[in-house]
Structure 1
């Protein structure tokens, strides 16, 4: 069936746009070092770029407004005796930046207030190089990554080739905490409140640390490919996203429960493509959009994260590949033009090109729904408080409306959501999730999950037939559904599910497929009370007498019409009636339309029973399909393992 659905989303039409040539930064000398870092960092006011310099390592800082060609001689931040591998701006001080180097040192630098990329020269016209304020020493090997704490001022994390991650008090220059790993860390990311750190190392394991306890909260194997992996914490939630490679070199995305990594990724890896470049992930907490920037290609893919799944929005394509990419803080975007992300990419190691992403809106008013409050430049804690054990629920937030109006900024502390950001307790949202009209990335991995839920364990769960009976008896909305079915023929010709209004839009160019869905509690809206076309559903039985254990009819008193007192024969564990008795067996309903105490058996009750039996059979069939697919997947893994062993034996 070729039905095509488009998922309703306000970010469905987000588009990327590169800046014009006159607004780019040219004649740059981006480092050609092969170390895996982003090469660029920005805080919205400056751009830091690892420079291809002789005589030790250096990096350059370019003010955002100084576009155009770079001078022949540029002021550099010099002081390291080896290549600069990574930099990071202090989120609470726009003029402070940290650097990690191959010389095993961490440099802390202040950007002069009068600093200019083009005119920072002395009396002789020579550029004035900037020297570090201090060096942080303690690592035994190169420092590959540096990352400032999102909540506490003067707290810096660094990863090194000595297999450790250190947390520094920048003010005192002391390494306060050391997290020891069995291999080199390739990526790390702080949680929203800054109490946890997610790391991924070359041993292919993903770990979440309680930083101040120096203990691993959760760990598990991530991607199986040999190349480096990346990790990013998905904002104010307990979810992580990783990018990596499969054994067959497919680029993958994984979504994880940060505190249950042992259980594996949620729902299977998403396969992106078979390109060789690492995917650099950037997450926008305000819009719940994950951006994936390909290293070595010109594409930037972006996905909306919802209900523990990624839904592809679109892709920014360019014929000019990037090796480095940086994203400015959300408070620095152009709110008046509905810009939701401001980024910068390197082009052929000689140019930096701004790339912005916009939500197309006609209104010129402030778009409150796409601009929630964003992290500000105000620290929630100081280093001494954080290291002593004090915690907050997140960074200090600034109102984006005040940025739009140009008024005095208003600040407030962050709060944890009442429920995890990726979950929903609304029954209507759950039914929409079950219908899933748009297939997310990795369709083959998600297909079984969308068609039928995993069967519960027999010890703790009733049979599918009893589950359905319970739903039919307990949910009052079934009465509304049964009113629409006057006989079996009307049920078989029920309303087309493609006309259901559930927040999903049907594409005009293709017909809607008819899908068989698992039985769920019907929602309360009148439109969604209609039956699906397949399989046939139950019809409205009339209130009649109930059969006793001896097969004789017993009059149902009028006072027992309440749902609490009316019980079906199944719940009393009564024996199955004979064929002659079955014709007179009826179902007690909770309808208040009639007051008759006795009635003869109606053929509609037989239609209801047959429908329940068919649905039970369908559920069991779907469970068998799931079991077969799981077994096939395990067999495939065993074959791959044997193949790898043979290859390793032959290579010896």
Structure 2
């Protein structure tokens, strides 16, 4: 049939066929699990059934929620403290109920927040040498919820701003928040709730801006896709098939993409890397992790690979980009909680390159660093700022476009971690430093903000400000109903 056609016609068909397939520089990415010697063995991982991650990591430490008799605790290990973990290793055990979530402060590697069934949120200081004895005294205990606190989330750009969600707050059908996610500058908050819908809120006022109304998708987890102007949710269809769905930020009435994955029952945890636009889907109770590449144009979602393991994961922690090993072309790192083996297994996602020892600029663009873009007061006043970027290339410095936090505050944070060490080195805290700490104590301020119904108004907003032992109450008509608890802790020194 094609004998009379010229040869260039077949060359044209071949080129057209190749161009219809997505060619990605991440197409050869693969998962490399750590050996048992480089994992954390003997960790009594919690038996809680909540759909949380139970693990949080930073370049210095890894925190894992553990099982214990009476009260709640979590384990904090130096990130290089691999191998067999001592069963009597000291823990952070100040909660009277089971710990449900832990999150490291993105701007302070020695500060971690935890929430619990005892209705409290606690802020802890971890010494630079790690936890040497059971830590029972928190830097601050935040009280305000009447039922168990299930989720906490740090603000992505403002310093010392923490959001918590418990099972006692409801707005209309907002009953029990299953997932909270800030956008890149913290000006919007996406929430999934028990009614399986997605809601976008203004976190300052609590006002609901958008609500999804798809009948073919029941959302459980949600993420902002930075740089793509989209939301991503995972959940299930009416036929209980697990799904991944993409939404237009400006219109949640209909999804842009709806893709069924499988018929498994475990919750799908989504993880997104805004620098590479790579998406990872990990199922609770599964041993596999799917990897995709996202784009702003159709088909939006391109499958790359699937990591498979025979050991199921109960939860996962993620290392921030600044803690990755750029010399091996590591683009993402998980910490898989394998409860059946009492094992925490690091899993590195690696893009193979011929010369892996050289810094690969195309794999590591500028990323969010560990420096806050603004203070909590600035954010509460209405200012929005994107994250302060940093380069992962060794020896490279990126200029901060925003006013930096005064050096005085940075010194106080360093003194804070020194103050909580069990055996500080001789001369670590000098007389001048103690005077500076006393100065900070004199200017301490605690602001506690939440939304609650006013007895005579349908829409009310109540702000409680505690300053040197005195309470001031201000009301304004902005928020609808009791929703979230926001804690602003100035320097966290009390």
Match of 2:99 in 1: 84
Q: In structure 2, which of residues 62, 68, 73 is the aligned counterpart of residue 58 of structure 1?
A: 73
Equivalent runs, 1:212-291 vs 2, <5 Å: 212-221=204-213, 229-261=220-252, 263-267=253-257, 269-291=258-280
Secondary structure at the aligned position of 2:362 is classed as: helix
Alpha-carbon shift at residue 130 of structure 1 (Å): 4.1
Shift in alpha-carbon separation, 1:89–1:146, aligned structure 2, 3 A: same
Q: In structure 2, which of residues 367, 375, 379 is the aligned counterpart of residue 374 of structure 1?
A: 367
Match of 2:290 in 1: 301
Match of 1:207 in 2: 199
Alpha-carbon shift at residue 270 of structure 1 (Å): 0.8
Match of 1:102 in 2: 117
**1:316-350 Cα deviation digits (max 9, x unpaired):** 11011101101111111111111100110011350
Higher percent of residues as helix: 1
Structure 2, unaligned stretches of length 5 or more? 1-16, 403-494
Match of 1:129 in 2: 135
Shift in alpha-carbon separation, 1:240–1:151, aligned structure 2, 3 A: same
Shift in alpha-carbon separation, 1:198–1:223, aligned structure 2, 3 A: farther
Q: Is the 8 A contact 2:60 2:109 kept in 1?
A: yes
Cα separation, 2, equivalents of 1:104 and 1:323 = 24
Structure 1, unaligned stretches of length 5 or more? 121-126, 165-178, 415-652
Q: In structure 1, which of residues 178, 194, 200 is the aligned counterpart of residue 186 of structure 2?
A: 194
Match of 1:545 in 2: none
**1:59-115 Cα deviation digits (max 9, x unpaired):** 111111100111121211111111000011100000001111111111111101222
**1:454-478 Cα deviation digits (max 9, x unpaired):** xxxxxxxxxxxxxxxxxxxxxxxxx
Q: In structure 1, which of residues 330, 335, 341 is the aligned counterpart of residue 321 of structure 2?
A: 330
- Larger C-alpha radius of gyration, 1 or 2? 1
Shift in alpha-carbon separation, 1:102–1:180, aligned structure 2, 3 A: farther
Alpha-carbon shift at residue 368 of structure 1 (Å): 1.1
Cα separation, 2, equivalents of 1:224 and 1:366 = 45
**1:573-631 Cα deviation digits (max 9, x unpaired):** xxxxxxxxxxxxxxxxxxxxxxxxxxxxxxxxxxxxxxxxxxxxxxxxxxxxxxxxxxx
Match of 2:397 in 1: 409
Cα separation, 1, equivalents of 2:330 and 2:307 = 15
Match of 1:9 in 2: 24
Q: Is the 8 A contact 1:206 1:222 kept in 2?
A: no
Secondary structure at the aligned position of 2:294 is classed as: strand
Q: In structure 1, which of residues 344, 350, 362 is the aligned counterpart of residue 335 of structure 2?
A: 344
**1:474-531 Cα deviation digits (max 9, x unpaired):** xxxxxxxxxxxxxxxxxxxxxxxxxxxxxxxxxxxxxxxxxxxxxxxxxxxxxxxxxx
Cα separation, 1, equivalents of 2:217 and 2:50 = 18
Cα separation, 1, equivalents of 2:142 and 2:122 = 6
Alpha-carbon shift at residue 224 of structure 1 (Å): 5.3
**1:376-403 Cα deviation digits (max 9, x unpaired):** 10000111111111111x10000122x3
Q: In structure 2, which of residues 373, 383, 391 is the aligned counterpart of residue 390 of structure 1?
A: 383
Q: In structure 2, which of residues 54, 58, 62 is the aligned counterpart of residue 47 of structure 1?
A: 62
Secondary structure at the aligned position of 1:152 is classed as: coil
Q: Is the 8 A contact 1:55 1:81 kept in 2?
A: yes
Cα separation, 2, equivalents of 1:189 and 1:114 = 32
Cα separation, 1, equivalents of 2:122 and 2:214 = 32
Q: Is the 8 A contact 1:146 1:157 kept in 2?
A: yes
Match of 2:157 in 1: 151
Deviates more, 1:152-161 or 1:6-15: 6-15
| Count of equivalent residues | 381
Cα separation, 1, equivalents of 2:174 and 2:292 = 33
Match of 1:464 in 2: none
> Aligned Cα RMSD in Å?
1.9
Cα separation, 2, equivalents of 1:163 and 1:181 = 10
Give the TM-score normalised by the residue count of structure 1: 0.56
